[in-house]
């Protein structure tokens, strides 16, 4: 007899077979359970035997194996959570959730409900979510409001704003406790971020009148952020005045940083600086690196890099060390003003402090050098990135390709396009289009044709206007064979030439008596079935 298993676990295994983590729940037999573990049985005891002779005893040297009986095991809450977590199909996860509940004495808890709701919400199975929530109203276990905060975020991302508010209202009947201020903040933030101001006001009124909850600093900050996001700075300051009168809240560093950022974006850098001084002097709030960065960025965008540098000096003098973001912001401002040597000096300063500029910062500087016609220095920065282990991305190389093309250094640009894929850089269609467009604009038609063939091989289609321009140039230069070959490749990738270009192509091809090619192209362009022959030099009919 094989070792016994829990009937419930066996049923779940049969219904949910092929689940990747089923061995966690003890579904499989131990390797020790084999044919040798069965007790010795005389052939005379086998059903169907009619012999009356006594059974032969086992050999003296043999030992009788005693049947071991494994203790029945049911699936625990953690087992169920693991199974649902690792199940990709939400329906199968729901089946597991329902089947484990059939076990005798098993009741779902907050963790198992949270897991299945997360799985269903991530898959946008919101009808199933409603069904599970309905079931929760009849459960006796203790629930936590974190389940509902998570669902609010899912519904908000799915633009189901009414459901966000519904999740808030379900907290009290299911959790059996008043929603916390964290719940109000989460719900309010979801609504405000989605610009659902009517629902946000409804939430606040309900919280104050029915739940007797007073907004705290976090809630006020959400409202400040909303007004600043809409450019209504006066309404934002009105909220701050209400905060100061409230007994439950007071402006904090986030409040002031949000206001200063809004002022800077409106070009009111002096007002932002005045508010900064007021924050320190009156409210005794110590700024952090993020708050300083708001001012540094504000000065840089206003074309006042020297003022941004003074903010950095003030920052150091007051015990707040600048971080990578502060230096990057300052460097960006210098690049925009064309102060490239000073920008390189910022990188050197960062190195002295043991900091490394990221790929975004390097790309900004490389772009500035390329725009200033100093592509060689940009190439040196690429080498520097490689030496410090900072990997240049596709955006960086596209910027560099644009710089090389603006200086007419097409051989280097083409060589880079040819080489980079073999060095692990995944080029995109923009990379090729940058060079192809420049070649066409500079009337480098032969090089453009070579690049077009490379694009065909690598599966990239040129821009529509560029394709028409290139074909037109080939026709006008009398390069009929190249035009036909290019058109064949373009048409195979779904390209259809402009009507006037098609007329020009037919005229040129017919002039050289290449009628077969004309008919094949016409068949292809009009959607007729018929295999196109590749253009060759021998086609001349």
* Burial degree of 310 (CB within 10 A; 0-12, 13-18, 19+): middle
Average the pLDDT over each of 18-22, 41-45, 134-138, 182-186 and give the range with the smallest value: 41-45
Higher confidence at residue 247 or residue 452? 452
Mean pLDDT estimate for the chain: 82
Distance of CA 233 to the CA centre of its chain: 32
Q: How far apart are the first and last CA of the chain?
A: 86
Residue 484 predicted with pLDDT over 90: no
**Nearest to 512, CA basis, from 476, 492, 474, 539:** 539
Average pLDDT over residues 247-251: 85
Higher confidence at residue 376 or residue 471? 376
Q: Where do the domains of the chain lie?
A: 1-49+66-106, 287-346, 358-460, 465-541
Angle between helices 90-100 and 7-15 (to 10 degrees): 170
> Which residue in this structure is represented by tokens 């269609």?
429
Which tokens hold the place of 264? Answer: 């800077």
Average pLDDT over residues 244-254: 88
In angstroms, the CA 368 to CA 301 distance is 16
Between the alpha carbon of residue 216 and those of residues 39, 243, 285, 478, the distances in Å are 73, 8, 18, 76
Tell me if 109 sits within 8 A of 100, measured CB to CB.
no
Average pLDDT over residues 141-150: 95
Residue 286 predicted with pLDDT over 50: yes
Tell me if 285 sits within 8 A of 279, measured CB to CB.
yes
Judge if pTM exceeds 0.75: no
pLDDT value, residue 523: 62
Tens digit of each residue's pLDDT (9 = 90 or more) over 22-71: 334 433 323 333 333 333 333 333 344 444 444 455 444 444 444 445 55
Residue 105 predicted with pLDDT over 60: yes
Residue 421 predicted with pLDDT over 60: yes
pLDDT value, residue 115: 96
Q: Cβ neighbours of residue 447 under 8 Å, at least 6 residues apart?
A: 410, 414, 439
Average pLDDT over residues 444-464: 88
> Which residue in this structure is represented by tokens 């390189």?
344
Tens digit of each residue's pLDDT (9 = 90 or more) over 294-327: 999 999 999 999 999 999 999 999 999 999 999 9
* CATH fold group of domain 358-460: 1.25.40
The listed range with the strongest mean pLDDT (128-132, 445-449, 496-500) is 128-132
Q: Cβ neighbours of residue 489 under 8 Å, at least 6 residues apart?
A: 452, 453, 456
Tens digit of each residue's pLDDT (9 = 90 or more) over 490-527: 877 877 777 777 777 777 767 665 555 555 655 655 55
Confidence band for 346, pLDDT divided at 50, 70 and 90: very high
Q: Which helix (H) or strand (E) segment is 366 a member of?
A: helix 359-371
DSSP at 68: P
pLDDT value, residue 369: 93
Higher confidence at residue 48 or residue 72? 72
């Amino acid at each position: 007899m094989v070792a016994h298993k829990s009937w419930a676990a066996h049923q779940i295994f049969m219904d949910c077979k092929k689940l990747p983590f089923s061995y966690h729940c003890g579904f499989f037999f131990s390797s020790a359970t084999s044919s040798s573990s069965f007790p010795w049985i005389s052939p005379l005891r086998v059903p169907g035997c009619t012999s009356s002779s006594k059974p032969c005893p086992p050999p003296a040297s043999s030992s009788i194996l005693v049947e071991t009986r494994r203790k029945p095991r049911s699936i625990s809450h953690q087992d169920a959570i693991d199974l649902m977590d690792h199940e990709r199909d939400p329906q199968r996860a729901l089946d597991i959730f329902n089947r484990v509940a059939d076990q005798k004495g098993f009741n779902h808890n907050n963790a198992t409900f949270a897991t299945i709701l997360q799985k269903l919400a991530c898959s946008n199975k919101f009808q199933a979510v409603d069904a599970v929530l309905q079931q929760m109203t009849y459960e006796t276990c203790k629930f936590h409001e974190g389940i509902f905060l998570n669902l609010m975020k899912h519904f908000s991302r799915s633009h189901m704003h009414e459901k966000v508010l519904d999740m808030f209202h379900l907290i009290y009947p299911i959790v059996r406790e008043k929603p916390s201020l964290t719940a109000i903040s989460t719900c309010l933030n979801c609504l405000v971020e989605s610009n659902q101001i009517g629902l946000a006001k409804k939430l606040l009124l309900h919280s104050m009148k029915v739940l007797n909850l007073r907004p705290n600093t976090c809630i006020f900050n959400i409202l400040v952020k909303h007004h600043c996001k809409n450019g209504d700075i006066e309404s934002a300051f009105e909220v701050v005045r209400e905060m100061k009168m409230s007994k439950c809240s007071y402006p904090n560093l986030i409040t002031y940083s949000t206001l200063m950022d809004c002022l800077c974006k409106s070009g009111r850098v002096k007002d932002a600086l005045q508010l900064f001084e007021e924050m320190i002097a009156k409210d005794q709030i110590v700024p952090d690196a993020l708050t300083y960065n708001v001012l540094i960025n504000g000065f840089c965008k206003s074309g006042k890099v020297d003022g941004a540098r003074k903010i950095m000096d003030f920052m150091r003098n007051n015990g707040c060390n600048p971080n990578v973001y502060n230096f990057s912001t300052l460097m960006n401002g210098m690049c925009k003003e064309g102060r490239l040597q000073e920008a390189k000096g910022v990188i050197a300063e960062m190195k002295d402090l043991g900091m490394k500029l990221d790929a975004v910062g390097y790309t900004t500087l490389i772009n500035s050098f390329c725009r200033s016609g100093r592509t060689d220095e940009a190439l040196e920065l690429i080498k520097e990135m490689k030496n410090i282990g900072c990997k240049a991305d596709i955006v960086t190389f596209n910027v560099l390709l644009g710089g090389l093309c603006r200086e007419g250094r097409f051989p280097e640009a083409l060589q880079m396009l040819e080489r980079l894929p073999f060095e692990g850089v995944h080029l995109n269609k923009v990379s090729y289009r940058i060079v192809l467009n420049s070649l066409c604009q500079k009337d480098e038609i032969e090089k453009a044709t070579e690049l077009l063939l490379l694009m065909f091989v690598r599966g990239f289609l040129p821009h529509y206007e560029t394709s028409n321009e290139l074909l037109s140039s080939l026709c006008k230069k009398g390069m009929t064979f190249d035009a036909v070959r290019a058109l064949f490749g373009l048409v195979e990738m779904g390209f259809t030439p402009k009507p006037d270009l098609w007329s020009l192509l037919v005229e040129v091809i017919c002039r050289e008596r290449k009628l077969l090619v004309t008919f094949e192209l016409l068949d292809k362009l009009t959607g007729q079935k018929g295999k196109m022959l590749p253009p060759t030099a021998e086609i001349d009919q």
